[in-house]
Structure 1
Amino acid sequence: MAHFETYQEYHRIEDFEEDSPAGEEDLLVHVPESLKDSWHHIKNLDNFFTRIYHFHQKNGFACMMLSEFFELIQFLFVVTFTTFLVNCVEYDILFANRAVNHTGPGHSPLDRNKVTLPDAILPSQQCTQRIQDDSWIIFLLIMAAIFWVYRLVKVFCNLLSYWEIRQFYIKALKIRMDELCNFTWQEVQGRIISLQKEQQMCIHKKELTELDIYHRILRFKNYMVAMINKSVLPVHLQLPLLGNVVFLTQGLKYNFELILFWGPGSLFQNKWNLHPKYKRSGNRLELAQQLSRVILLMGLANLLLCPFILVWQVLYAFFSYTEVIRREPGSLGARRWSLYGRLYLRHFNELNHELHGRLGRGYKPTSKYMNSFTSPLLTVIAKNIAFFSGSVLAVLIALTVYDEDVLTVQHILTAITVLGVVITITRSFIPDEHLVWCPEQLLQCVLAHIHYMPDHWRGNAHTSETRDEVAQLFQYKAVFILEELLSPIVTPFILIFLLRNKSLEIIDFFRNFTVEVVGVGDICSFAQMDIRRHGNPAWMSEGQTEASMYQQAENGKTELSLMHFTIKNPRWQPPQESSVFISHLKEKVQHDAQEGPSTQLLLSEAPLCTSLQSNESGTGVRNPTPMLQIYGFIL
């Protein structure tokens, strides 16, 4: 593989044994005595910058600690309430399968056989005895208690950790807590960069750049984005009858990260360095076998813990969604960006709030595109079911208005609830009468926000195949809940039978696409957004890139990531190759803007299209320019 000169003094990884990024041994920094404090020479800058970012995004110390406290209470409530429902309720009495006779003063003859809630609850002594007699319940409670104590210790550690971050904001960044919500992340980041010049938080280099901070916060996330982009992770499943299905859940993603980044047997020897043995090609087969064994053990551990995780998933889903579904049955038919979609559509070096904002703006256009696909046959059926159900429901409601005692009739309340759910569901299949069929234009509006689409979508926006692929990125909430419930069962098999077969490919990926950056450590080379090394000739980098098919990022992710990062960080000075590319792009877009307004009108709502140019003062993007067509020339 060819060696490419890149920016920020990074080079192909070589064998070295230091636990910290290279460069420290050659750098002596003089810091005035008045400036020395606890923020000079921070050993784990990855963790420090990540905590600073999370502190900002979660609105400060009080909000973060309160959220963690209620998470502890929530877990305790789920376990306690479930134990109570299983052991302390007499369901035969609750469901009136067994008669209750109230005798004594204070009970009228009419109330003697009437069931009250206290009648169905066992006395505390009897309830306790039931729990003690059930060894399975005792075992589960012990497991839950151990996990809760672990979470309690973690919350306490977080309290100390984020109190330090609070002091850093107040003393070092000069940002009071009551003003934190008024500062953007770019403003906070700017103060961190200025502070580095005074206090040398990182002693490996004199000055920090915006890209250095992003690299540290998103070190492992960039690897995940690159592995999805290069189809290294097995998230596409070929299933009978269903065909190609994308399956990526929180549990499966957690296992990927545990195996590759920070768990026992992971590829990284610490938070910022890939283990030296993975940097040599001579023992790739041996390392692949070793990784395969780690994946097998992790898969077996998931299989062993499957019953416990599954029970928790079912309970948490029940307590979280039942009331919402009862109140809004149509919420299951709403859509959300899938976990796979968030990784597939994410730029390199894109922070969470930037991704959420971009996809949030793309929610309505994508919903319009997905809703434009209707089945005429299904629409006719849905209209008639809605009519019949609505007629019966109207009669029942009228009867209850006339006499509320109708509600006491057996199954009436259930019938009203079921009919309401049926009507809500059927109406979701009835299209808007003002809907205009223009899938190509709708998909282009979607692209203005999501920025990525396979080549075969162009000209095929009207096909069900394209719609199904968009649905993999933009899934029903019901599908999301179902996948999370199935995750404890499916995850072990994906690890054992699919991920293990990718061991050699994973080892090669980390060796070929890891670079060392002075003052940062080992990062994914795609995160450098180097047009020459990872550019795609079909995406405006022809003549500037030397990347082979294996080296180039798919779907122009290198070019678009560079473009996005430049817009979000207007003060960042890109290297020469990137500056040439951006200048060429500006000229191209300005030329296109003069030739015709069609694309500009089409993408007039694209937020990324406002500008690539910052004020000469470097204060940020302020004035809209013809860059509204930044993605128009790609379509």
Structure 2
Amino acid sequence: MTNYASLNETPDFYGEYGTGEYGIPHQHVSEPTRSQWNHIEDLDSFFTRVYKYHQKHGFKCIALKEVIDLHQFAFISGVLFTMFFGINYALLFSPQTRINDRWIFSVLIPFDDVMRDLPFWGWLLLLFLSIIFVLNLIRKLYALVMYWDIKQFYNQALAIDDADLDNLTWHEVQKKLIHAQLDLQMCIHKRELTELDIYHRILRQTNYLVALVNKRLLPPRMYVPFLGELVYWTKNLRLNIMILFFWSPWSPFENPWHLREEYKRPGYREKMAKELGRQVLWLFFINLLAFPLIFIGQLIFYFFNYCEQVRREPGKFGIRYWSHYGQLYFRHFNELDHELYARLSRAYKPATKYMGSFSCPSLVILAEHFTFMCSSILAIFLILGSLDNDIFYWDQVLTMLAILTGTIGVAKNFIPDETLIWCPEQLLEAVVLHTHYLPGVWQGFAHTAKVHANVQQLFQFRFAAILEEFVSPIVVPYILIRHIYPRTLDYVDFFRNFTVSVVGVGDVCSFAQMDIRKHGNPDWHADSEEAGDNAPQANQYTQAEDGKVELSLMHFTATNPNWQPPPEAMEFVENVNLESHRVLLNDDVVNGPFGVVSDTDFLNPIKQEQESIQSISMPARMRSSYMRGSLTGLGGISRQSIFSQQAEGPDIFSSIENMRGSTMVLHNRHAMRSAQQRALETIYTSSTIGRGNHTTAV
């Protein structure tokens, strides 16, 4: 049976005929091997699986991962059940038992005896674990069936074998997917799909989350005594938010691609806010009742997952990584996971150096003190062990050695390297070169404790992230009732005001349309008399913060060079690209060899960088090498040729962002020049310029 996507309208049926793009009936004749992909009902899930299939390296790897996950759950359940009911602990701790070489088998209780003497709560535990195992088995079998269909789609419709997946970028797979639409008509409301349509399908819900974070509606900010304001965003909280807004039958979205009509009508805003509030209350009570099970489950997970790491490599818990909040904050609209992770990976080293440039004097003193004491005690044990090796076989000594080693490893992370001197302002600008976002109030204050604390919430210690996840069963119910429930009216207004209907796609976040006139920031554009009708018409409520729409537009055009943006967006992109290219070609004619930047220049990143290069004490050979690399990165004068080189790699934006990223991250264009100079000094100090997926030494 043919499935039709229910987006904005229901197609007419004429027996075996359907309505074409212009309302003209036509007959759907499909190849027998491809008919299953005609008129796919849920294209969101289908395109998401197509993307994940490529990123997870094909069906074999996906199936192996699903089987291993299921086996791990069964293994942990069996270990827990054995620990509770299958071990004779009186015999285990008896001195006579340890004399026996087969003591490990002698303390195990036979399975028949365990089941015969199993208490009532043991049967409940067994029933609970069995139900979870069966549900997981059904879910994973369903996922494998769906991915088997994706495998057939890759092999037959796209003509891509699993062995070739790792040799193809997502950009190449996407081109084949767009071409397959012309043959298969997976979407019936549009004959041709664009790159933006596919991104909308895959990232529909993610774009809403990015917009909620950008407008500071999520995540909640809590004031904690002695710690100040903290941003709290964990996997558990994200799961509850997704259930509240997207996944439950009572969420604002009645299906993945359509916002309920009541949410679109201003007269229903109060009613919908009360309904959404009731759903928050239900989530609150469910989390409250499920708290013991969730907490115990997380305790078991962390114990089995990190016990060995605590014993052998405790220092890894002092390593920083990008928090879940940071990943949402830095994410562009319409940016896939692999594109985001590539940017954040390049920003990791400068971010680590920036955070390492700060140290709390009192904390350093305490860390040095604890390191000295633990090292002294550890030295004593080593001396005693050299005299008598049997000391290391004492259980208490092994435990003490593990604790002392772990304490030293953690404490050393708080002690700065005295041989290094960092400039926080330069380091932060090196971070922003890849993350692209920097609040204007941070400009010039990178050395302050306030900015450091804000960056720390984006780039947190691993042990802090684990602690947040560990206490999330306790904190999430409080956040739901204290921070989410009072703002239900704001969420209803957000979905009504920032949802647009797109033919062939359904309802999407309007920010994801990257409409610079509706959501653009005026500080990112030319003066009003120069911009004319293309000047942003947004106010403080409707405009995206930190220039996210403009940056998202530049990123998307770079990663998808065949995409044709709307005229006003096209003009913005062309202005940036052509101005940059013009300066490169005329640097010896216009305003001297490197140009002069004035406050009236329109988003002139390369020109400003050239002025900065002139002020840097560097050999002429290095300058000319940089300019050749910049010119090669930009390509020809047209937008197609400008981005043609970057289109082949999985991370296409890196060449462009290294040349103009530090300019575009500052939404106050009058403060760009000094920031450009400091950012370029940091780049040349590290002697690297990013090119595509690689880092080329200058």
TM-score for the superposition, normalised by structure 1: 0.89
Higher deviation after alignment, 166-175 or 240-249: 240-249
Q: Which residue is equivalent to 2:606?
A: 590
Structure 2 letter corresponding to 1:500: Y
8 Å CA contact 1:531, 1:578 repeated in 2: yes
The C-alpha deviation readout for 1:246-296, integer Å capped at 9, x for no partner, is 111111101111111121211111121111111111111111111111111
Are 1:550 and 2:541 an aligned pair? yes
8 Å CA contact 2:244, 2:279 repeated in 1: yes
Q: Which residue is equivalent to 2:563?
A: 572
* Distance in structure 2 (CA, Å) of the matches to 1:255 and 1:163: 30
Structure 2 residues without counterparts, runs of 5 or longer: 13-18, 529-534, 580-603, 619-625, 667-674, 676-698
8 Å CA contact 2:288, 2:477 repeated in 1: yes
* Distance in structure 2 (CA, Å) of the matches to 1:375 and 1:350: 37
Structure 2 letter corresponding to 1:383: E
The C-alpha deviation readout for 1:389-423, integer Å capped at 9, x for no partner, is 33432342344345422223462222222221122
Structure 2 letter corresponding to 1:566: T
Q: Which residue is equivalent to 1:107?
A: none
Structure 2 letter corresponding to 1:506: Y
Are 1:621 and 2:646 an aligned pair? yes
Are 1:217 and 2:202 an aligned pair? yes
CA drift at 1:494: 1.4
Matches within 5 A, 1:451-466: 451-466=436-451
| Secondary structure, aligned partner of 1:522 | strand
Question: CA distance change for structure 1 residues 242 and 46 in 2, over 3 Å: closer, same or farther?
Answer: same
Q: Which residue is equivalent to 1:632?
A: 663
Q: Which residue is equivalent to 1:12?
A: none
Q: Which has the higher contact order (CA 8 A, sep 6+)?
A: 1
Q: Which residue is equivalent to 1:76?
A: 74
| Secondary structure, aligned partner of 2:507 | strand
Question: CA distance change for structure 1 residues 52 and 516 in 2, over 3 Å: closer, same or farther?
Answer: same
Question: CA distance change for structure 1 residues 542 and 524 in 2, over 3 Å: closer, same or farther?
Answer: farther
Question: Residue 115 of structure 2 is aligned with which of 124, 128, 149?
Answer: 128
Matches within 5 A, 1:365-384: 365-384=350-369
User: What is the number of equivalent residue pairs in this alignment?
Assistant: 603
CA drift at 1:612: 8.8
* Distance in structure 2 (CA, Å) of the matches to 1:564 and 1:383: 45
Are 1:499 and 2:479 an aligned pair? no
Q: Which residue is equivalent to 1:335?
A: 320
8 Å CA contact 2:59, 2:151 repeated in 1: yes
The C-alpha deviation readout for 1:496-542, integer Å capped at 9, x for no partner, is 23211111111111000000001100000000010000001122365
| Secondary structure, aligned partner of 2:136 | helix
CA drift at 1:65: 1.0
The C-alpha deviation readout for 1:61-116, integer Å capped at 9, x for no partner, is 0111111111111111122211211222344554x4x55379xxxxxxxx48x994
Are 1:257 and 2:253 an aligned pair? no
| Secondary structure, aligned partner of 1:218 | helix
Matches within 5 A, 1:447-526: 447-526=432-511
The sequence identity of aligned pairs, in percent, is 42
Are 1:177 and 2:142 an aligned pair? no
Are 1:539 and 2:524 an aligned pair? yes
Structure 1 letter corresponding to 2:96: V
* Distance in structure 2 (CA, Å) of the matches to 1:243 and 1:413: 39
8 Å CA contact 1:234, 1:498 repeated in 2: no
Q: Which residue is equivalent to 2:96?
A: 100
8 Å CA contact 1:567, 1:611 repeated in 2: no
Are 1:285 and 2:270 an aligned pair? yes
8 Å CA contact 1:31, 1:199 repeated in 2: no
The C-alpha deviation readout for 1:108-137, integer Å capped at 9, x for no partner, is xxx48x99434543343443345x21x233
Q: Which residue is equivalent to 1:4?
A: none
Structure 1 letter corresponding to 2:660: Q
* Distance in structure 2 (CA, Å) of the matches to 1:601 and 1:358: 29
Question: CA distance change for structure 1 residues 321 and 150 in 2, over 3 Å: closer, same or farther?
Answer: same
| Secondary structure, aligned partner of 2:662 | coil
Question: CA distance change for structure 1 residues 170 and 596 in 2, over 3 Å: closer, same or farther?
Answer: same
* Distance in structure 2 (CA, Å) of the matches to 1:431 and 1:516: 53
